[in-house]
Chains A and B, each alone.
Chain A
């Protein structure tokens, strides 16, 4: 029988319907302010896509910061557990998972079975999460999809003094006033967050293979900066933002 994994993140909600390790349908929506309601609508949508009625889903496992808001869930699983499970399923050689989402950054060390061995986490400060890049894109007046690509063409290494996202926004504005090219500022932004993420992950020890997941894994500038900071190759799944939901669905499947 099909199972569902629901991952309610700070910015987006992801849902996967799984049957015998096969993805029947998936959905990604903005979490918005009415978390529970949005998730229910998204769930209905994904069931429609799969052509299933709610009673056909044998188990629903929920993860993500908003997991408590979802009324249809059968059980909850921590984000780090879901990350480890989903990543090792996609990459059996994965030992370190770096998950950078909108409002959290996580480093997870995992076993070959996809169990959590150790983890480090930043949920307190926007400077170590996707929100940081989002705020800087706003200050640079660039769409979020562009800022990463733009960083790749930078030729100049400039430092970013501010750590805090609020202060960094003012710094970006000052750099713009000083006629610094946007590409160089974009590079500095990505280097800054990559540095914070890698020092967080180093706390748990980095073991190969390293897999990057979460929404920030779609940002080419960040990937480039993180690779250089770690001095390692990084593997990235095709749909990095769905790994948490996939992990939750796999855990649901194991438990049925």
Chain B
């Protein structure tokens, strides 16, 4: 089989130092997105374990896979989790989740945890959509704008380019900064047309890094127009998979003339993290009612 350059690494992680058995609460959030799925487990409000993988053809299975992988090697079982909230595109289809909450609310909540309460503007760059979210100091959504109609400015668009240029997707960001001079952005917005344009540029003798730089810059420009419509208030943070692509992030910062906060956690887990935080709040609410 040919190498799949778009295929990003799937992973899981756990905090070895936390003893979950002594935790007073265990909650989880599962984000079944259109391209990737994540599960985050919190013990007493701290991140205990998470996983990230590609979404399969059905949501229940993808959710199951995500939580199983996050649980792997922890000794914890699904039954030990007291409250689970589902989010993302497939959120209504997670059989073992007690509640579904929109990914916009979850990303804002997750970003508030990851970056702190000073975050006011979040750009969530997902696999098949892109959202510009404004929130308050508690991570509550004030307003948002979203593009979920067009692949330009989404992770899928970047995957298509990784494949076209045969460059592993994780290397695109760094490669885009190896150009001597910043080229103009790819002129076509549409990913399908941008692909033809890129082929022509390669044919004209453009090296791959220059084409990559040109595409990263077009993608940055595309999402900046969305951000400007919602208005950017500091602090500004980026979540989602593209948040790990320095080539796009750096160019967004340059065009906005605003630095994004440096992530301390994996940007791709923000949605599932927010869901797990909602789960924790909901759990405490039920506890206090009883």
Residues of A whose CB lies within 8 Å of any CB of B are 10, 33-34, 103, 124-126, 131-132, 135, 163-167, 170, 174, 177-178
Rounded to whole angstroms, the CA-CA distance of A235 and B209 in the bound complex is 48
Given contacts A135-B192, A166-B156, A166-B191, contact A125 B57 (CB under 8 A): no
A contact residues around B149 at 8 Å (CB): 163-164
Tell me whether A124 and B190 are in contact (CB under 8 A).
yes
8 Å CB contact of B128 from A167, A177, A178: A167
Tell me whether B150 and A34 are in contact (CB under 8 A).
no
- Quick one: which of B128, B150, B157 has the most chain A CB within 10 A? B150
Rounded to whole angstroms, the CA-CA distance of A170 and B157 in the bound complex is 12
Q: How far is the CB of B199 from chain A (nearest CB, A)?
A: 6
Asked whether B193 is an interface residue with its Cβ less than 8 Å from the other chain, the reply is yes
Asked whether B200 is an interface residue with its Cβ less than 8 Å from the other chain, the reply is yes
Rounded to whole angstroms, the CA-CA distance of A125 and B191 in the bound complex is 8
B contact residues around A132 at 8 Å (CB): 192
Excluding A166-B191, A167-B151, 13 further A-B contacts by CB distance (< 8 Å) are A10-B196, A33-B203, A124-B188, A124-B189, A124-B193, A125-B150, A126-B190, A131-B192, A132-B192, A163-B150, A164-B151, A165-B190, A165-B192
Rounded to whole angstroms, the CA-CA distance of A3 and B123 in the bound complex is 56
- Quick one: which of B151, B157, B191 has the most chain A CB within 10 A? B151
Tell me whether A103 and B57 are in contact (CB under 8 A).
no
B contact residues around A167 at 8 Å (CB): 128, 151, 156
Asked whether B160 is an interface residue with its Cβ less than 8 Å from the other chain, the reply is yes
Q: How far is the CB of A36 from chain B (nearest CB, A)?
A: 12
8 Å CB contact of A125 from B157, B190, B200: B190
Tell me whether B150 and A174 are in contact (CB under 8 A).
no
Rounded to whole angstroms, the CA-CA distance of A131 and B191 in the bound complex is 11
Rounded to whole angstroms, the CA-CA distance of A178 and B59 in the bound complex is 13
Q: How far is the CB of A212 from chain B (nearest CB, A)?
A: 22
B202's nearest neighbour on chain A, judged by CB, is A33
Q: How far is the CB of B8 from chain A (nearest CB, A)?
A: 16
Tell me whether A126 and B192 are in contact (CB under 8 A).
yes
**How many B residues touch A, CB cutoff 8 Å?**
19
Residues of B whose CB lies within 8 Å of any CB of A are 34, 57, 128, 149-151, 156-157, 160, 188-193, 196, 199-200, 203
Rounded to whole angstroms, the CA-CA distance of A102 and B200 in the bound complex is 16
A sample of 10 inter-chain contacts (CB < 8 A) reads A33-B199, A124-B188, A124-B189, A126-B190, A126-B192, A131-B192, A166-B156, A170-B34, A170-B156, A174-B57
A contact residues around B156 at 8 Å (CB): 166-167, 170
List the 5 shortest-distance A-B pairs measured between CB atoms, nearest first. Answer: A126-B192, A166-B151, A33-B203, A177-B57, A164-B151
Q: How far is the CB of B121 from chain A (nearest CB, A)?
A: 25
B contact residues around A170 at 8 Å (CB): 34, 128, 156
A contact residues around B203 at 8 Å (CB): 33-34
A135's nearest neighbour on chain B, judged by CB, is B192
Tell me whether B193 and A103 are in contact (CB under 8 A).
yes
Rounded to whole angstroms, the CA-CA distance of A131 and B157 in the bound complex is 16
Tell me whether A164 and B196 are in contact (CB under 8 A).
no
Rounded to whole angstroms, the CA-CA distance of A167 and B34 in the bound complex is 10
A166's nearest neighbour on chain B, judged by CB, is B151
A contact residues around B196 at 8 Å (CB): 10, 103
Q: How far is the CB of A26 from chain B (nearest CB, A)?
A: 25
Rounded to whole angstroms, the CA-CA distance of A203 and B190 in the bound complex is 22
Rounded to whole angstroms, the CA-CA distance of A178 and B56 in the bound complex is 12
B contact residues around A126 at 8 Å (CB): 190-193
B contact residues around A34 at 8 Å (CB): 203
B contact residues around A135 at 8 Å (CB): 192
